Amino acid sequence: MSQKEEKIALYIANAKELGLGLSDDLINKVTSGLGPSIYNADSETVACSQSDELGTIKNNFLIKKLGVDASDDLDSAIKLACEKMGSSNRNKYRALMYALLVVHFGKESVYA
């Protein structure tokens, strides 16, 4: 099993454990889209308490990658995704955060 496959298996297991209701296929595609960032411990996870990180998710992922309208309530969508992953969960994986946001905004076609 390759490193990428191991990461995908980890994310799928974590999504099931948290009851996120994400499809294995979407997790696989989002993880593949993240490239080498999944192998870096700092960039692999999201710190929901850091406003600069949340701004990066909003600008670089939601607006630029998914094409979500900036007038939508992006901050509340990010906050909701953080809550779904659990406030006591120290490993909020970026791949799962992004997958939750893809589903929230109905942008699965970006990863089709």
Segment 27-66, tens digit of pLDDT = 999 999 999 999 998 999 999 999 999 999 999 999 999 9
Tokens 């969508």, residue located: 77
Q: What residue numbers bound the domain in which 11 lies? A: 3-105
Q: Decide if 111 is inside a domain.
A: no
CATH number at residue 57: 1.10.238.120
Q: What are the structure tokens assigned to 16, written together?
A: 């099931």
Q: What is the pLDDT of residues 60-105, one digit of tens each?
A: 999 999 999 988 899 999 999 999 999 888 889 999 999 999 999 9
- What are the tokens at 26? 């979407």
Position 1 scores a pLDDT of: 86
Structural domains of the chain, count: 1
Q: Among all chains, which residue has been given the structure tokens 């990658």? A: 65
Average pLDDT for 17-21: 96
